[in-house]
Chain A
Amino acid sequence: MPDIKITPLGAGQDVGRSCILLTMGGKNIMLDCGMHMGYNDERRFPDFSYISQEGPLTSYIDCVIISHFHLDHCGALPYMSEMVGYSGPIYMTHPTKAIAPILLEDMRKVSVEKKGDQNFFTSQMIKDCMKKVIAVTLHQSLMVDNEIEIKAYYAGHVLGAAMFWIRVGAQSVVYTGDYNMTPDRHLGAAWIDKCRPDLLISESTYATTIRDSKRCRERDFLKKVHECMDRGGKVLIPVFALGRAQELCILLETYWERMNLKAPVYFALGLTEKANNYYKMFITWTNQKIRKTFVQRNMFDFKHIKPFDRSYIDNPGPMVVFATPGMLHAGLSLQIFKKWAPNENNMVIMPGFCVQGTVGHKILNGAKRVEFENKQIVEVKMSVEYMSFSAHADAKGIMQLIQHCEPRNVMLVHGEAEKMEFLKQKILQEFSINCYNPANGETCVISTPVKIPIDVSLPLLKSEARKFSALPPDPKRRRTLHGVLVMKENNVCLMDVDDACKEAGINRHIIRFSSTVHLNDTGPALATAHKLHGFIKENLPQWPVVFAEGEISIESVLVKVEGDEDEQKNVYVSWTNQDEDLGSYILNLLNRMGQ
């Protein structure tokens, strides 16, 4: 049986630097090419030396597919394509193609200019890398080469996030990237049809969580922000420029409008304004409601939310500030955090997942003092809130997706090992399908059943259908097809035996057997024949027994009665070699009668 091989270089029992190698039908495909936010050393990128010790990867990888623009899914792309070396095709959706280079450039600046990282990719490399990108639209079926076909489905995680269905020959895999099964304020829910892949590779960030209703979480969030405003505190919301930020903006914008709040809401400039523009132009990727109303009022034109300036950090009075990046690992959000953390009136709301090693992760785990590289120590007195707004599917959502696409096997990635183990058991119980969760660098081999498509001659199918419909209807009856596979040069075709012989230019040899049985039965021959007919029918209830002109025929078996009245009858039984079993069975029946 043919195999599908999967090796995660990242995201295997881990979150961050998603990068999964997929091999099927002799083709190698890289799914995502992300970086790890928690590391500053070589561990931040996937270990590409696994693919090739030295030299470019082009000859080893047939294509790269990027699921969405988050850096843990595309952050290593310029490194891989320009520094390690890859010149093959890279696929992503239009919004991802538009937004990814901006985030990459932003990250590059933080890493190189602020942290002084060496051996990092340059702006030019990002541009060169993006030139290799082929943009895809949803549901378009795209042939990468003659054998690899890919198709994108809506994933609802961020603008332009997609799940990819990949087919090579008869084998197929669905890679979900990150997805969300519940529609939110700006995006729709992930959707996939019943494509029945051999393998579903699903993220499992929230493998053990069943989240309460969205509405409760939103109310909770708004209440906390409002309370903080009332006591004159400042709220810091570290976000990534695109994604949750827009959803929370819509949420605050409508709340401020409704409650007539006066405290300023700021959004860190630059990236974000541009980001909102992308949302306006790719409005077809947002949810139904926003799409319907955008002509009258574009949801991304915010009235209450103003651009932020660094000098506002020390402004007195309450305010809400959205600042990047989302895990408090660098940049403006960290700068503001350092200023505001020592005041207990202030609050920081972490609206998403934080990878290990980041400040965000530390304070979420209750750290009251955070030490920085330059020995600076910050006391954390502000309240720290965690609100899961990141748009990942929860356990229920993952189960739903499995139900929707009916895979033969499931693989969990992009999650923590223990949580995966729990979900794995659940999947096994509920769907009784195999579930895998390989660690990074561990190869998983999944064998798939063969289903070979071949040509079949229409007359063969039609003659079977005629025969089948001639029989009395019986829902339990199996349909049997006899045919001959003709393999000629590269053509393989199934046809009926006579056509096959003609096609091959050979003569079929027909072997026929005729035997005579003597029966003692008085009366006319026809009466005997009638009796035999009844007898045979009784013994062969499943068979089409035909009686015509004194002869009984069952498939190619012929039974004929001869002899005058009051005499011994000669019963001739004749059949071709293909019906040997049936012929000899009937002969035996008659022999037993004659005794």
Chain B
Amino acid sequence: MKLYCLSNDPNKPCHILTFKEITLMLDCGLSMQSVLNFLPLSFVASSKLSNLPNWMPNDVSDSDLEGELKENGDRIFVDSPPEFCPPLNKLIDFAQVDVILISNYLCMMALPFITEGTGFQGRVYATEPTLQIGRLLLEELVNYIDQCPKASFAAQWKNLIHKLPYPLSDSFKPKSWKQLYNMNDVNASLSRIQMVGYNEKIDVYGALKVMPSSSGFCLGSSNWIITSDHEKIVYLSGSSTLTTHPRPMDHHSLKNADVLIMTDLTQTPISNPDSMLGVLCVVVGLTLRGGGNVLIPCYPTGVVYDLFECLSVKMQDLGVSNCPMFFVSPVADTSLAYSNILAEWLSSVKQNKVYVTEEPFPHGLLVKNNKLKHFKHVYSDGFSTDFQEPCVVFCGHPSLRFGDVVRFIELWGNNPRNCIVFTEPDFDYTEALAPYQPLQMKVAHCAIDTSLNFTQANKLIRDLKPNTLVVPECYTQPPVSAPNLTDYVIENNHDRTLIPYKWGEVINLPLKRKHSQIFIETGVAQKIVPVEVKPGISLSSITGTLSIKDNVHSIQDLSSSVNKASKHVKYEWGSLNVTDFLQKLSQEGISEPKVESHGNVVVIHLQEEDALIQLEDNSTHVVCTGDETLRTKLRSIVMQCLKKF
């Protein structure tokens, strides 16, 4: 069994697992850190961004590079449509992948890169919310990029990486970066997904079974349990033990795995989501009361549902409930609608509401009462008439490189009464803001990441008791941002093997298969005659026709038509008692044998019959002429003296 690591971002994982000749891809996350190196895309020609000065390395006078790089403050940005860093495609041919398992909608953004134009022919499994909401995220992303086409694509800068300043010089594999896929690719890719339910056992070519189990992180998020007859591998990704809107995490099915692969832990190990939510509410209250607007860059789904619920209550308490909340995203309406029909995937509190015909989330009601208004874009019909300040705006994209958020920063950035609040943990907020600096608006950082922190992860591991634990290498060292926090690592423990991995590696996982499963059918079962060879231990020889169908082995009764090759075979055991044997010989009329013994070897010579029987502890050798009558007689005597099974 081998594990390939294709993504350098443990929060946007992508692995290949090969086991029993099946190639599984575990998640296909798309690392978007690369987009931070690009200038934001604005659909109204922004004076500021378009007037940034060109930048050239000192000793380079390549005219092709002219205009590709722009400077703002001490930072250099690429002036081109943003590019993304897809999973590594050098280690494995995606055409060989049999199955892709997706854990949650945040870990599937690279799916079109994997399945389209690569010869991929396998199956993709994901839960219904993962597919539906994942579709929204993919559509939103494509829509953001498509609505701001750029005239030119910059490519030359990639050849001069070594001459560029930090952080561009440190970019991870820029030559492998790609332009985003288009809507056709998205649709084709998503049409390959087969929807599955939690705890649905899916057969993979008869060799393996895979099963998603609730991971508590977001709507439809799952951990995957991969089993064969005797082995169990658990792939744990994006999990949460906190109580929010999704169905709680199912621990039971993850226990006692031979191998536990754990990834996608929190990106904010130091802060606590609850206190961050508290800070957020305070910041929103203060800003609105001061007459300022709040801008919350976010994904169109996930924690944002909790924020609507929580903020609407808080705003009421703080006396600012007359300020509206705007939710601007090309998929805002669908996201709100879908979240309220996925009751089966929600926490029991939310689920129980459905039983009394209430909507699980209050945002339907908030929309009805005009507390929450949703629009596809800032330029959509009705937005300008409904728009009212001060207000709270939720919109994408959290990287601040595309989407309606760009427009809002341009609009509100110069007013110190306004505030931008970062709640999504995916991007570093100083990096995200860099192209807009200097900004007057306040900045608050309240990243809410509900996925497992190190304390929770270590406790979970102790509970689950895996034999082997496999984690990204970075989880075995303290976070880069806080090297003295040595608690923020995955503990090593003598009870299990800890195997770290990193990008581009192929590691062998220590799982030796010793047993498989076989089905014994009626006819064969009826012929089993257990022989007790020792107290509590019985043996029975079995002979049958082996049939292998869809990787399932079974033994059937030998049918009569089969050739002589197939006969029921029995085996002798124990040792032969010489006195007993000699007595039986004489009973059969074979007399006066010459008995010689050399050590523990006894040789019996039947002079008259010209035959020799050599007896040892664990073997008997009968040597005679071609005379079959004699040999058959001797054989039956030997057999009488031995036990068999």
Tell me whether A and B are bound partners: yes
Shortest CB distance A69–B (Å): 13
Q: Which of A281, A484, A501, A511 contacts B341 (CB 8 A)?
A: A281
**Contact present for A509 and B519 (CB under 8 Å):** no
Q: A489-B536, A511-B622, A514-B623 are in contact. Are A497 and B571 (CB under 8 A)?
A: yes
Using known A-B contacts A140-B197, A277-B357, determine if residue A487 contacts B635 with beta carbons closer than 8 Å: no
Smallest distance from the beta carbon of A451 to chain B beta carbons, Å? Answer: 5
- Chain A residues contacting B518 (CB-CB under 8 Å) are 453-456, 461, 494
CA distance A284 to B338 in the complex (A): 10
Query: Judging by beta carbons under 8 Å apart, are A509 and B573 in contact?
Result: yes
Closest to A99 in B: B355
- The 8 Å CB contact of B619, one of A505, A511, A587, is A511
B542 contacts the other chain (Cβ, under 8 Å)?
A: yes
Tell me which of B520, B569, B618, B621 contacts A578 (CB under 8 A): B569
B598 sits at the interface (CB 8 A): no
B563 A139 Cβ-Cβ under 8 A: no
Expressed in whole angstroms, the Cα–Cα distance for A486 and B541 within the complex equals 9
Determine how close the nearest CB of chain B comes to the CB of A270; give it in whole angstroms: 12
User: In the complex, A133→B200 CA distance in Å?
Assistant: 20
Query: Would A137 and B547 be within 8 Å (CB), given that A507-B618, A515-B624 are in contact?
Result: no
Q: Collect the chain B residues with CB atoms within 8 Å of residue A485's CB.
A: 528, 530, 539-542
Q: Across the interface, which residues of B come within 8 angstroms of A277, CB to CB?
A: 357
Chain A residue nearest to B333 (CB atoms) is: A295
Asked if B626 and A451 sit within 8 Å, CB to CB, the answer is no
Interfacial chain A residues near B544, Cβ < 8 Å = 480-481
A523 at the interface (CB under 8 A from B): no
Contact A512–B621 (Cβ < 8 Å): yes
Q: Chain B: which residue is nearest A517 at the CB level?
A: B626
| Chain A residue contacts of B572, Cβ below 8 A | 508-511, 577
Known: A578-B569, A580-B635. A588 touches B545 (CB 8 A): no
Segment of B86-94, B302-310, B553-561 in the binding face: B553-561
Decide if B516 touches A456 in the complex (CB within 8 Å).
yes
Contacts A137-B197, A497-B571, A509-B573: A487 and B566 contacting too (C-beta < 8 A)?
A: no
Within 8 A of B (CB), among A307-347: none
Give the residue name and chain of the B residue nearest to A151 (CB): B200
Against A, the Cβ 8 Å flags (1 = close, 0 = not) of B601-645 are 000000000000000011111111111100110010011001001
The smallest C-beta distance from A224 to any residue of chain B, in angstroms, reads: 33
Check B539–A487 contact: CB distance below 8 A.
Answer: yes
User: What CA separation (Å) do A563 and B96 show in the bound complex?
Assistant: 60
Pick from B197, B545, B627: contact of A478, CB under 8 Å: B545
Contact among B344, B516, B631 with A137 in the assembled complex (CB-CB below 8 Å): B344
**Is A98 in the interface zone, CB < 8 Å from B?**
yes
A282, A456, A487, A512: the one within 8 Å of B530 (CB): A487
In the bound assembly, the distance between CA atoms of A141 and B622 in angstroms comes to 59
Whether the Cβ atoms of B344 and A487 lie closer than 8 Å is no
Does the CB pair A457–B515 fall under 8 Å? yes
The answer to whether B539 and A512 have CB atoms under 8 Å apart is no
- Tell me if B49 counts as interface (CB < 8 A to partner A): no
Partner of B625, one of A455, A489, A507, A515: A515
B interface size (C-beta, 8 A): 90
Interface residue? B44 (CB, 8 A): no
Output the nearest chain A residue to B348 by Cβ-Cβ distance. Answer: A135
Proximity string of chain B (343-387) to chain A, C-beta cutoff 8 Å, 1 when within and 0 when not:
110000001001101011000000000000000000000000000
- When distances are taken between beta carbons in the complex, the residues of chain A under 8 Å from B160 are none
With a CB–CB cut-off of 8 A, which chain A residues contact B569? 482, 578
Interface flags for A444-467 (1: CB within 8 Å of B; 0: not) read 000001111111111001001000
Q: Which residue of B lies closest to A101 (CB)?
A: B355
Q: A451-B521, A506-B573 are in contact. Are A458 and B359 (CB under 8 A)?
A: no
Q: Which residue of A lies closest to B513 (CB)?
A: A458
Q: Fill in one digit per residue for A496-529: 1 if any B CB lies within 8 Å of its CB, else 0.
A: 0100110011111111111111100000000000
B570 neighbours in A (Cβ, 8 Å): 578
CB neighbours of B540 from chain A (8 A): 484-485, 487
**Residue of B229, B338, B536, B622 with most chain A CB atoms under a 10 A cut-off:** B622
Distance between B460 CB and nearest chain A CB, rounded to angstroms: 22
**CB of A585, distance to nearest CB on chain B (Å):** 8
- Neighbouring A residues of B575 by C-beta, 8 Å: 507, 509
The distance from the CB of B214 to the nearest CB of chain A, in whole angstroms, is 10
Q: Say how far A300's CB is from chain B's closest CB, in angstroms.
A: 12
Is B564 close to A, CB under 8 A? yes
Determine whether the beta carbon of A450 is less than 8 Å from that of B563: no
How far apart sit A6 and B574, CA to CA, in the bound complex (Å)?
Answer: 50
* Chain A residues whose CB sits within 8 angstroms of the CB of B467 once the complex forms: none
Question: Which residues of chain A are within 8 angstroms of B617 by Cβ–Cβ distance?
Answer: 507
Question: Given contacts A294-B341, A458-B515, A509-B574, is CB(A139)–CB(B196) below 8 Å?
Answer: yes
| B521 & A281 in contact (Cβ 8 Å cutoff) | no
Q: A98-B354, A504-B534 are in contact. Are A513 and B631 (CB under 8 A)?
A: yes
B9 in contact (CB, < 8 A): no
A581 with B567: in contact, given A450-B525, A508-B618, A511-B622 (CB under 8 Å)?
Answer: yes
* B contact residues around A590 at 8 Å (CB): 626
Q: Is B494 an interface residue (CB 8 A)?
A: no
Chain B 207-226 near chain A by CB (<8 Å), digits 1 or 0: 00001000000000000000
Cβ of A591 under 8 Å from chain B: yes
CB nearest to A508 among chain B residues: B573
Note all chain B residues with C-beta closer than 8 A to A457.
514-516
Closest A residue to B512 by CB, please name it. Answer: A458
Tell yes or no: A367 within 8 A of B by CB: no
Q: Hey, which chain A residues are within 8 Å of B411, CB to CB?
A: none
Hey, what's the 0/1 contact readout for B522-533 against A, CB within 8 Å counting as 1? 100100101001
When A281-B341, A481-B544, A542-B565 are in contact, do A504 and B624 touch as well, CB less than 8 Å? no
Q: Report how far A515 CA is from B609 CA in the complex, Å.
A: 13
User: Which residue from B340, B539, B626 sits with its C-beta under 8 Å from A281?
Assistant: B340
Which chain A residues border B333 with CB–CB below 8 Å? 295
Q: How far apart sit A478 and B548, CA to CA, in the bound complex (Å)?
A: 11
Question: A483 is contacted by which of B542, B562, B627 (Cβ under 8 Å)?
Answer: B542
Contact B635 A455 (CB under 8 A): no
A283 to chain B, nearest CB (A): 5
Q: From residue A484, how far is it (CB to closest CB) to chain B in Å?
A: 5
Q: Mark B407-433, 1 if CB is under 8 A from A, else 0.
A: 000000000000000000000000000
Complex: A84 Cα to B574 Cα, angstroms? 62
For residue A582, CB closer than 8 A to chain B, the reply is yes
Interface membership of A303, Cβ < 8 A: no
Whole-angstrom CA separation of A455 from B231 in the bound complex: 12
How distant is the Cα of A486 from the Cα of B642 in the complex, in angstroms? 19
Task: Check if A480 sits within 8 Å of B566, measured CB to CB.
Answer: yes
Q: B644: nearest residue on chain A (CB-CB)?
A: A509
Q: Which of A98, A294, A484 contacts B539 (CB 8 A)?
A: A484
A contact residues around B525 at 8 Å (CB): 450, 452
* Set of chain B residues within 8 Å of A478, measured between Cβ atoms: 545, 562, 566
B541 touches A483 (CB 8 A): yes
* Cα–Cα, bound, A283→B338 (Å): 10
Contact across chains for A542 and B574 when beta carbons are under 8 A apart: no
Say yes or no: is B342 at the interface (Cβ < 8 Å to chain A): yes
Contact across chains for B199 and A142 when beta carbons are under 8 A apart: yes
Chain A residues within 8 Å of B, Cβ to Cβ: 1, 94, 97-98, 135, 137-142, 151, 274, 277-278, 280-284, 294-295, 449-458, 461, 464, 478-489, 493-494, 497, 500-501, 504-518, 542-543, 577-578, 580-582, 584-585, 587-588, 590-591, 594
Sample of 19 A–B contacts (CB below 8 Å): A1-B522, A135-B344, A140-B197, A142-B199, A284-B344, A295-B333, A451-B554, A454-B517, A464-B546, A488-B537, A488-B538, A504-B533, A504-B534, A506-B574, A508-B618, A513-B635, A515-B623, A580-B635, A587-B628
Given contacts A513-B631, A515-B628, 19 further A-B contacts (CB under 8 A): A1-B522, A140-B197, A294-B337, A451-B522, A454-B518, A457-B514, A458-B516, A480-B546, A481-B544, A484-B541, A484-B571, A486-B537, A501-B571, A508-B573, A509-B575, A510-B572, A510-B620, A512-B621, A582-B564
The 8 closest A-B pairs by CB, nearest first: A456-B518, A139-B200, A479-B546, A481-B546, A509-B572, A277-B357, A480-B566, A487-B538
